[in-house]
Structure 1
Amino acid sequence: MRNVRLRAWRADDAPVVLRAFSSPDMSRQAAWPVVTLKDAVGWIASWAEVGHAFAVTLGGEVVGNVAVTDIDAHENGWVSYWTVPEARGRGIAVAATEELARWAFGERGLYRLELGHRVDNAASCRVATKAGFRPEGVERGRLHYDGIRYDVERHARLATD
């Protein structure tokens, strides 16, 4: 998807962040609840301390996020992504994740990128696979929400892939 671009997050993007985390499937994806504009501004500001996050834009409109965090001494990083509900199913997350990988390998000099998704999240699995992240296995009972344990499938992409 050629019109997908990555750019730095800005405080005035907070309404998009708030709308995204208001979606039921996204409500637990932030480190803390994002329920007000102030929370959303804080979410944007927090990236300066934990990694590299980029607003995903389509035609100049913010439609998602891609990020790499937990960069370690072995040149590995952890990838995450999301799009607002109305942007899903259009290849935007795939294009943004591919662009993030190019940046992480080229500009940041990383060698290995990892990500994980709940095994019941087929859409996230499709994004990972289409963006060149190969499945590496299942981490049993990795996540715990509302008294229920969820398995997570781990994927990775190397700079040499």
Structure 2
Amino acid sequence: MTDDLRAATPTAGPLLLRPWLSDDIPALVEAYRDPAMRTMLLTRVADETEARHWLRVQQEGRKSGSRFSFAVVDRDRDDELVGHVALTYPAPGSGSAEVAYWTVASARGRRVAPRALGALTDWAFEAFAGEGLVRLDLLHRVENEASCRAAEKSGYGFAEVLPARPPWPLDRHRHERVRADGVR
């Protein structure tokens, strides 16, 4: 993996997608205090210790090339943390990868998720085109209608309902986006 991938910082207007920093820990803990996030996400970050562990997992994923996790900050609002996007890339040549995201409560309704997902998607298709990446999947719980809207605004069409199975206790939607050149 190249240093360019490790240092990538995609943008979408005032939004900057950058690697997570230890300075983000207080904002990360605050974001996870949101009841909506606690309901929809499997991971828990209740305090600074758990935030440091979460951050270490993100950094290890980036270093190994298996997960590219980005803090989404709004440059028009003094680099306020407004969300998170991630690309989990299972293996070169697999043809597909998974994207995930969340937004902080105060940023919802400001189109942060669709813009950040769009920037992540464009970056992923460009960065991993040579390794055969042609499809990105976005998964969310069926009852999370806001995630359906964000997925569709980002060009991720509904593909199927996935039945509940560990570690996911409830059914999920799978949305997908295929590389613009249509290669699949």
Structure 2 equivalent of residue 55 of structure 1: 71
Larger helix percent: 2
- Check conservation: 1:93, 1:127, Cα contact below 8 A: yes
Instruction: Provide the residue aligned with 1:117 in structure 2.
Output: 140
Percent identity between matched residues is 37
Residue 64 of structure 2: aligned partner: none
2: CA distance between counterparts of 1:95 and 1:4? 8
Q: Residue in 2 aligned with 1:154? A: 174
Instruction: Give structure 1 stretches of 5+ with no counterpart.
Output: none
Are 1:100 and 2:116 matched, yes or no? no
State yes or no: 1:135 paired with 2:140.
no
Residues in 1 aligned to 2:29 and 2:134: alpha-carbon distance in whole angstroms: 33
Shift in CA distance, 23/143, structure 1 to aligned 2, threshold 3 Å: farther
Count of aligned pairs between the two proteins? 157
Q: CA deviation at 1:16?
A: 1.3
RMSD: 1.9
Distance (whole Å) between structure 2 residues aligned to residue 120 and residue 42 of structure 1:
29
SS at match of 2:170: strand
Which letter does structure 2 place at the counterpart of 1:36? D
- Offset at residue 70 of structure 1 (A): 4.0
Matched-pair contact (CA < 8 Å) for 1:115–1:156: yes
- Structure 2 residue aligned with 1:11: 22
| Counterpart in the other structure of 1:39 | 50
CA deviation after TM superposition for structure 1 residue 136, in Å: 0.5
Cα distance in 2 for partners of 1:108, 1:11 equals: 27
Structure 2 unaligned runs (5+)? 1-11, 62-66
Normalising to structure 1: TM-score of the pair?
Answer: 0.88
Shift of 1:142: 4.2
In 2: Cα distance, 1:113 partner to 1:57 partner: 23
Report the secondary structure of 1:68's partner residue: strand
Q: Deviations over 1:62-114 (max 9, x none)?
A: 11100011423313111100011000011011100000001100123322110
Question: What's the counterpart of residue 26 of structure 1?
Answer: 37
Write the letter of the residue equivalent to 1:126.
Answer: R
TM-score normalised to the size of structure 2?
A: 0.78
Deviations, residues 100-141 of structure 1 (Å, cap 9, x unaligned): 001100123322110111111110111101000011011133
C-alpha separation in 1, matches of 2:124 and 2:95: 10
